[in-house]
Amino acid sequence: MTLSNLKGSAMPHRSIDPRSGLVFDIHELGRRAGAMKEMKRQSPAPDGIGNDVIGVPAGSPIQLDVQLEAVVEGVLATGVAEVQLAGECARCLTAIDDQSEIDIQELFLFPGKEPDDDEASRVEGDLIDLEPVLRDTVVLDLPFIPLCREDCAGLCPVCGANLNAEPDHRHDEAIDPRWASLTGWQAETES
């Protein structure tokens, strides 16, 4: 597919699963601007939030504290999501287990509003889905190079020893392989 084919195409549509803990029913808000609803919920994390090095483990709990507010164009979702992170340090390959608090804010447009914006989040029926918003926000918030600690010393490039556990780890000076066969020569000539 060429770039010109991609330019006019919209992202594939993903239907909303009303059973998901990241989907909210906004029926009670109606379409009255100013109506507000606060919700706290725990939901299992879906697959694939993160990258190959660090991310949110599938099924781990996501704590959501969300405020839904009806506005003229749609529903404004604002809140915080607490997620667990798991991965490994980019320097020493030690497992990383951490938590992160992610700020969420997204406007979900009612059908017919801003029809030219194909990438806008939309209200579908009486439902909004926070999963795409959460996924994008978490991935952008992840560290580019995850570290177990800021001063991680990494692994020894010669033998792979963890330099955090063995800070005095050293190797003898490497011998140039072209001269390696002569290493015992001086001792032999002196005896």
Per-residue model confidence as pLDDT tens digits over 155-179: 998 888 899 988 888 887 777 788 7
- Which of the four pLDDT bands, split at 50, 70 and 90, describes residue 60? very high
Rounded to 5 degrees, what angle do the CA atoms 73, 74, 78 make? 120
Phi, psi for 151 (deg, rounded to 5): -100, 30
- Determine the Cα–Cα distance for residues 105 and 80; give it in Å rounded to an integer: 9
For 70-74, 97-101, 144-148, which range has the lowest pLDDT when averaged over its residues?
70-74
* pLDDT score of 70 more than 80: yes
Start-to-end Cα distance in the chain: 75
* CA 60 centroid distance within chain: 13
* pLDDT score of 73 more than 90: no
- Determine the Cα–Cα distance for residues 66 and 74; give it in Å rounded to an integer: 16
pLDDT at residue 153 in the model: 92
